[in-house]
Amino acid sequence: MAKVSMAIAALGVTLLLVAGAWAQTPKKKNLPKSQKGACCEEVRSLKVQVANLSSILEELGRKQETDLLTVVRQVMELDKQNRQQEARVTEAESKYSEINNRVEILQLQGAQSITQTSSDVMYDCASLYAKNYRISGEYKLPKDDFLRTPELTVFCDMETNGGGWTVIQRRRVGLTTFDRDWKQYKKGFGTVRGDFWLGNEHIYRLTQQATVLRIEMEDWAGDTRYAEYGSFSLSNELNSYKLLLSNYSGNAGDSLRYHNNTYFSTKDKDHDKCVDDCAALRKGGYWYNCCTDSNLNGVYYRRGEHSPRTDGINWYGWHGSSYSMKRVEMKIRPHSFRP
């Protein structure tokens, strides 16, 4: 734009000079013919110069516009590149923090396997919490010859209501079937980061000390409820992992009470209190009575097909007997736990 202004100024000055020259030209009448011709020649040449200057100006103007457009395009391109760079940086940052988080957990696990001794209390998420492991996630509890406990991968919830929870069951993804046999329920199945059952033998062992059970659930509208039992334990396998629980609190309703004092049943072992085969009807392994007030190991149904389903993940106290939950987590911690 500055160039245009300068060119306009230059044109102005030229025009003034032309006018001045015109004014200074002696205006005598009857000029000699030769002088008259010279004057007209001068005017013509000036006119030509003015015309040339105008066309140069026009040309300059067009060039300026083109340059300006090019600059605008370049700026826009730079801005776009800048935004892309920013997005890449953000992505890199989040990846870094994720990796960092994993490293932290691994370091904690490393520290844990070095400092442990057999005289320690039973290993679970609460004992990890007591040793200052405060990040929720996957932990490997070591094998312990003294306590005769095997190595066990667990998922610890170190946040909910003070933390220290060992998760024993989760339904969230829906790709792992829970319609399994006795052996699988005994040993456990699935992956602790996704859907899983920790295993009746492990749950039996972990509930040898006074234990609290907390059940959290979410429906398909995104609402959440919980049920907590101040006392929870399983009998051993000889007693078919019989459920013993009491002392309900929460806002989901007490839909496990009906299952208290019942044996664990699977599709290949019917220990329920019914003529029917509840495990086959409800398609899971559970402490079936005749048959259910809740069916947390039932079939995972997705949004739109979750109701009405009597073999779904039901909890009568909240959504009745034919509504299947979107998410469930069962977790335990010692009664003596203090955050």
Give the position of tokens 């009746």. Answer: 200
Q: Which residue stretch of 55-63, 76-84, 104-112, 270-278 sits at the interface with Ca ion (rule: CB under 5 A)? A: 270-278
Nearer to Ca ion by Cβ, of 42 and 270: the residue is 270
Q: Is 11 in the site for Ca ion (CB under 5 A)?
A: no
Which residue number, 225 or 267, has a Cβ lying nearer to Ca ion? 267
CA separation, residue 285 to residues 18, 35, 110, 277, 288 (Å): 106, 122, 35, 11, 8
Looking at beta carbons only, is 185 or 232 nearer to Ca ion? 185
Nearer to Ca ion, 244 or 274 (CB): 274
State the minimum distance, in angstroms, from the CB of residue 287 to Ca ion: 13
Distances (CA, A) of 26 to 18, 40, 287: 14, 13, 124
Least distance to Ca ion from the beta carbon of 262, Å? 11
Stretch binding Ca ion (CB under 5 A), from 16-24, 25-33, 190-198, 272-280: 272-280
244 binds Ca ion (CB under 5 A): no
Binding to Ca ion by residue 272, rule CB under 5 A?
yes
State the nearest-atom distance from the C-beta of 268 to Ca ion, in Å: 13
User: What value, to the nearest 5°, has the Cα angle with vertex 270 and ends 266 and 276?
Assistant: 110
* C-beta of 42 vs 277, nearer to Ca ion: 277
Give the closest residue to 295 by CA, choosing from 274, 275, 281.
281
Residue whose token pair is 């990846």: 95
Nearer to Ca ion, 195 or 272 (CB): 272
DSSP string, 208-231: TS-EEEEEEEE-TTS-EEEEEEEE
Binding part of the chain for Ca ion, among 49-57, 219-227, 262-270, 325-333 by CB under 5 A, reads 262-270
Least separation in angstroms between residue 274's CB and Ca ion is 4
Find the shortest distance in angstroms from Cβ 276 to Ca ion.
Answer: 6
Residue with smaller CB distance to Ca ion, 201 or 270 = 270
What's the closest the beta carbon of residue 186 comes to Ca ion, in angstroms?
19
DSSP 77-141: HHHHHHHHHHHHHHHHHHHHHHHHHHHHHHHHHHHHHHH--TTSPPPSHHHHHHTT----EEEEE
Q: Is 311 helix (H, G, I), strand (E, B) or coil?
A: coil
Shortest CB 270 distance to Ca ion, Å: 4
Would you state the structure tokens that stand for residue 135, as one six-digit string? 């990040």
- Binding piece for Ca ion, criterion CB under 5 A, among 124-132, 196-204, 267-275, 299-307: 267-275
Applying CB under 5 A, the span of 80-88, 185-193, 264-272, 301-309 interacting with Ca ion comes to: 264-272
Does an H or E element contain 305, and which?
none
Give, in degrees to the nearest 5, the angle at Cα 295 between 294 and 301: 125
- Tell me which of 274, 280, 281, 310 binds Ca ion, using CB under 5 A: 274
Taking the complex as a whole, how short is the minimal distance between the CB of residue 150 and Ca ion, in angstroms?
32
CA–chain centroid gap for 229, Å, is: 30
Q: Which stretch binds Ca ion (CB under 5 A): 7-15, 51-59, 244-252, 268-276?
A: 268-276
Residue whose CB is less far from Ca ion, 57 or 274: 274
- Side chain identity at 154, as an amino acid letter? V
Q: For 242-247, which contacts have Cβ atoms below 8 Å and span 24 or more sequence positions?
A: 242/287, 243/287, 245/213
Give the nearest distance from C-beta 267 to Ca ion in angstroms: 11
With binding defined as CB under 5 A, does residue 270 bind Ca ion?
Answer: yes
Distance of CA 224 to the CA centre of its chain: 18
Run of H or E residues at 65: helix 33-115
Q: What are phi and psi of 185, to 5 degrees?
A: -70, -30
List residues near Ca ion by CB under 5 A.
270, 272, 274
